[in-house]
Each structure stands twice: as C-alpha cells, then as structure tokens.
Amino acid sequence: MKEKKSASESRAALKKTLSYVSRHKILIIISILLAAGTVAFTLYIPILIGHAIDSIIGVGKVDFEKIIQILLETGIFVIATAVMQWVMNMINNRITFQVVRDIRTEAFEKLQSLPLSYIDSHEHGDIVSRVIADVDQFADGLLMGFTQFFTGIITIIGTLFFMLTLDWRITLIVVLLTPLSLLIARGISKSSYQYFKKQSEIRGEQTSLIDETIVNQKTVKAFSHEEISIDKFDEINERLTDASVKAVFISSLTNPSTRFVNSLIYAAVALSGAIAIIKWDLITVGELTSFLSYANQYTKPFNEISGVVTELQNALACAARVFELIEAQPQIPDSDDALVLDDVKGRVSLENIYFSYAPEKKLIEGFSLDVSPGTRVAIVGPTGCGKTTLINLLMRFYDTDSGIISVDGNSIKDITRRSLRTSYGMVLQETWIKTGTVRENIIMGKPGATDEEIEAAAHATHADRFIKRLPEGYDTVIDDSSSLSQGQKQLLCITRVMLSLPPMLILDEATSSIDTRTEAIIQSSFAKMMKGRTSFIVAHRLSTIREADVILVMKDGNVIEQGSHTELLEKNGFYAMLYHSQFDRLAGQAP
C-alpha cells in the first residue's frame, strides 16, 4: 500500500515538475538537439578510427593521405562535440536554475499568503528545509537528469544503430549480456539500502545530541554532565561507524561488479569479433575496433542511468515536499469589495465568539466584549486561558469559528487585513529583529519617517541610550543573533510602535525583558502613547496593569471577572487571589 502511495506521489511530483520545465520548451528542444548531435559525433568517431586502422594493415599498404584526412575529420568532430557539449551544459544549467528559481519564488510567495495556523502547525525548520535544502536537492537531481539521462538514452539507441550497421550477430551478444550489469547493481543497492537508512537514522540521532548539548551547554556544565554526554556521544558514534562501514562496503561492490560484467561483454565482443575476422572474414580489424569502442559506450549509460534514476527519485521526493507547501490551502483572501479602514476611532466589539485550535479541545466559547474608543483593556489570567488567542483573533491571525469581531461597527472579515493590522500597533513578548540597520528596524511601521521622528521615538522609549553607544549609532547593522540583549531588542520593538502610533495598541507582555527601573520609565511613555487610543494589554505582572480602565480576568477561555483594579480587589475573587499570591511571593523573596 505504501509502495503504491509513494509511486503515485512520485508520478504526481514528476507531472508538476514537467509543468515547470515545459515553460522553457525552446531551450529544451535546443538541448535535446545538441544532445543528439553530441552523441552522433561521438559515436561516429570510432567509425573514423576503424577506417584509419584498416588503412594501415598490411606491409606496404599504409595509406597516409587517407589517414591524414581521417585525422583531420576526427579533430573537427572532436572540437564540434566539445563545443556542442559545452553549449548543451550551459542550456541545461539555465533550464534547471530557472525552474528552481520559479519553484523557490512560488514557495516563498506562498509563505506570505499561508494562514498562521499552517505556520504554527509545522516545524519552522522543516518549512525552511523545504524552501532551501529540498529545492537544492531537487536542482541537483534535475540537472543530472538533463545532462545524463537524455544523453544516456540517445547513446544507447545510437550505439545499437551503429553496431547493427557493422554486424547484427555481435550486437546480439552485447544486448543479451548487458542486463547482467543492471541486475547485479539492483541486487547490491537493495542490500545496502537498509544500512544507508540505518546510517541516516543514527546520524540524525547524533546531530540531535550535538545540537541539544551545544544549545544547553550551561545546563550541562552546571550539572557536571560532560562525561555522561561524551559517553553517550561515543556510543552513538560507534553505532554510526558500524552502519557506515557496512553501507559503504556493500555499496562499493556495485562499481567493480558492474565493471566486471562490462569487461566480460568487452571480452565476448573481442573473442567473437576475432573469430568473425579469422574464420569467416565477416568484419575488418578496424570494424572490430569500432565494435569494442561501442561495447564500452553502450554499457556505460546503463550504469549512469541507474545512478540518475536514484538521483531523480530523490529529487522528486524533495519536489513533492516543496509542492505540498506550494499547494497548501492559503488564507481566505480579502473580498473584492473589502473595506479599507480609515480614520479609525477604536471601538472594538466581540459578539458571542467561539474558537478553538483543535475541534476536540475547546478554548473560547460564547465570549462577548464591547470596548469603547480610548479604553485601556488589560487581559490577565493563568497560562493557557486564552489571552494570546484573543489577540490573535483581534489581529485576524486566526478567524473565529463563529461570532463577529468588529472595529468601528465593521466586521473584521469585511475589512482588508492590511488596513486592519496597520490600525494596530503590536509589541509582543517575543522580539524580532530583522537583518539591517537600527534605523531600518525602527521604521518598519513607517518607512518614510524622518531622522528627527526616529530619534524622538527612540528618546521616548529610552532606546537612544544604548543606540548612541553602538559603533555606527542608528546605522549599525544588527540581526536577531547580534550582541544586543533581550531587553535592548524589546526596546527597539517598542520604538517601532512609538514611531508609527496607530489608533489601537496591543501590548503582549511588552516589558517582560526589561529591568524594573527601565520598565517604570517606559510605562510612563506607554501612558502617553495609550492616551486616547484603544489599548489591549496582556500582562503576567499585575502591577503593570493597575491603571487599566477595564481588567478582564480569563480562565479556560472565558471572562470570569471584569472591572477596574480596585473593584476586582473588593470582589475578593479570582483576580484578588492572583494579585495577592503574586505580591505575597515577591514579599517572601525580599531580603
């Protein structure tokens, strides 16, 4: 059943690959014609050499004029073959990398249109691997297919034709013995496959151990786990060595075994040809020389094609993974008459919202909320209660299962995603710094900002304190792995929002990586920024949301309490329990 499924997927991947390749029909036709010309010239050269040999057999029978003419013709054919092969390889490279460019471009464009649910449900490393590593593997297999597969098939057909023009009986010997080479290669590859598979699995286990040891090196050292890690590595390494030696040894039998069969074919042609010359005078010595050359050229493509087929199968397997990404269901596009939000007041309403990431695991059920313009709404609750999910729904990263979310009386499903999301300024707990200058990172929400505006925003968030200490100031090139601390990265993310100042704000643990003193300063900046703007604040540190107009206390996807900080404390309910437990713990930690 699995074999049928794999074969079906392979055929589907091949069909899709050909649809990309067919976009370059003219180049393909030229490549095939050049391949045919290269093979024809290559196969005609042994005929010329055979004629040259026939021109020097016998005492006093050397025809120098004919030999010189043949040598000149041979030289011309050799040069022409080399030129055609060079042009053919250039064209094949062009076809391959244009196909790869098209596939990779479509894959990356698809990433921009995929719903967040797809990204969240797939390992990010796997997605990157599809766009980068799998496409590279596909390119290697496709290039090998173009350069060897078609040339090999044309060579087999061409050598058969030329051998048949010389003698059909000797040709029959070659054709009957050649399958032995393929049978031996197939048998060895089956035996070695299990060891290569085992080798790959153990290598993955080894890579995983190395990765987790490097990433968690501080923990390894803190618990003096170095010796145990080394012993584990040695044990895996021994198993890898054993599997690798067996895999390499068995697979290495393919080349000498097939060469042995090819040598048998060569010997059979030489013996039968010699008998045909001496006993029956059926062919000449020169023709036998040509036959021996053709015997070698006829068997060679079979070995190459078997390798090419393996590469093509690997390429198609990689292509299938990329096509799966390209053909993934995109997010529901905006309707043609979707509203573009303008002059947003900031009234947000949620009416009877139901949502869950998985149907069997309920999360938000029957949730309703009405937020007036300029209101500061804090969302608190234990981990997994639905705080971040609510933010995802407001930004339409996910669509509700049922119910309506509206902004200024318009359902967000009737609003363009771009205008909806640009109406929010969002600072997440997870920071993201793109590769570029500090200035380029800050102006993401407002590309046309002036230097004065950028510096004013950085000053308001106190990010300018560390920016001025950077080697090139605002022109310093940074990335997510740069030497900036987590707190400095978060300050840059806050500065982005401070610069654009949209009508609504979402602050999801926006000061979680900042020290208490800086947090107090930034809170005052946030207060200015939130003035007159509808704001949603997610926070675990309850001290940061005491000034909120409304505090929503969530549990198991529902709002169980609602009110101001003072009102909720007076109720002495779940919020009061959270608040007191947090401050009692902090008090217990105080010296």
Instruction: Check residue 306 and give its pLDDT.
Output: 60
Q: Interhelix angle for 64-113 vs 135-144, to 10°? A: 160
List the strands of the sheet with 504-508, edge to edge: 424-427, 504-508, 534-538, 376-380, 550-555, 558-563
* Residue of higher predicted confidence among 127 and 567: 567
| 565-591 exposure pattern, b = at least 16 Cβ within 10 A, e = fewer | beebeeeeebbeebbeeeeeeeeeeee
Instruction: Check residue 204 and give its pLDDT.
Output: 62
* Residue of higher predicted confidence among 177 and 450: 450
- Average pLDDT (12-36) is 84
What φ, ψ does residue 357 adopt, rounded to 5°? -70, -35
pLDDT of 351 higher than 80: yes
List, in sequence order, every beta strand (DSSP E) within 441-579: 477-478, 504-508, 534-538, 550-555, 558-563
How many Cβ atoms from other residues are within 10 Å of residue 463's Cβ? 26
Fold classification of 1-166+304-331 (topology level): ABC transporter transmembrane region fold (1.20.1560)
Per residue in 528-574, pLDDT tens? 778 788 888 887 666 667 778 888 888 877 778 888 888 888 888 88
From CA 221, how far away is CA 206, in angstroms rounded? 20
From CA 575, how far away is CA 581, in angstroms rounded? 10
Torsion of CA 558, 563, 564, 567, to 10 degrees: -120
Q: How confident is the model at residue 234 (pLDDT cuts 50, 70, 90)?
A: very high
Equal fold, 1-166+304-331 vs 334-423+504-591: no
- 319's tokens: 């292509």
Residues 6+ apart with CB under 8 A from 330: 110, 113, 114, 115
Percent of the chain with pLDDT over 90: 4
pTM: 0.68
Q: How confident is the model at residue 590 (pLDDT cuts 50, 70, 90)?
A: very low
Per-residue HEC secondary structure of 463-498 comes to CHHHHCCCCCHHHCEECCCCCCCHHHHHHHHHHHHH
Domain boundaries, the chain: 1-166+304-331, 168-282, 334-423+504-591, 430-501
Q: Interhelix angle for 254-278 vs 179-215, to 10°? A: 160
- Average pLDDT (352-363) is 83
Instruction: Check residue 313 and give its pLDDT.
Output: 64
- 251's tokens: 């697979």
- Average pLDDT (201-220) is 75
From CA 262, how far away is CA 268, in angstroms rounded? 10
Torsion of CA 251, 256, 261, 264, to 10 degrees: -170
Q: How confident is the model at residue 303 (pLDDT cuts 50, 70, 90)?
A: low
pLDDT of 589 higher than 50: no
Q: Is-contact 445 497, C-beta < 8 A?
A: yes
**What is the average pLDDT value for the chain, to the nearest integer?**
80
- 92's tokens: 């094949």
Q: Is-contact 429 511, C-beta < 8 A?
A: no
Per residue in 377-406, pLDDT tens? 888 887 777 788 888 888 888 888 899 999
Q: How confident is the model at residue 82 (pLDDT cuts 50, 70, 90)?
A: very high
Q: Which CATH class is domain 334-423+504-591?
A: alpha beta
Beta-bridge mates of residue 554: 559
Report CA-CA distances (Å) from 435 to 146, 192, 382, 442, 575. Answer: 37, 45, 35, 12, 41
* Residue of higher predicted confidence among 148 and 70: 70
Q: Is-contact 503 346, C-beta < 8 A?
A: yes
Instruction: Check residue 189 and give its pLDDT.
Output: 62
pLDDT of 87 higher than 80: yes
DSSP type of residue 406: E
Percent of the chain with pLDDT over 70: 86
Can you list the pairs that 74-83 forms with residues at least 24 positions away whose Cβ atoms lie under 8 Å? 74/45, 74/48, 74/49, 77/41, 77/44, 77/45, 77/48, 78/45, 80/37, 80/41, 81/38, 81/41, 81/42, 81/45
Instruction: Check residue 59 and give its pLDDT.
Output: 61
Instruction: Check residue 444 and give its pLDDT.
Output: 86
* CATH code matching the domain that covers 430-501, chosen among 3.30.2130.10, 2.40.110.10, 3.40.50.300, 3.30.300.30: 3.40.50.300
pLDDT of 455 higher than 50: yes
pLDDT of 235 higher than 70: yes
From CA 454, how far away is CA 442, in angstroms rounded? 7
Q: Is-contact 213 265, C-beta < 8 A?
A: no
End-to-end C-alpha distance for the chain, whole angstroms: 67
Residues 6+ apart with CB under 8 A from 35: 88, 150, 151, 154
pLDDT of 347 higher than 80: yes
List the one residue out of 575, 454, 429 whose CA is nearest residue 506.
429
From CA 518, how far away is CA 345, in angstroms rounded? 31
Per residue in 507-531, pLDDT tens? 887 666 667 776 776 777 677 778 7
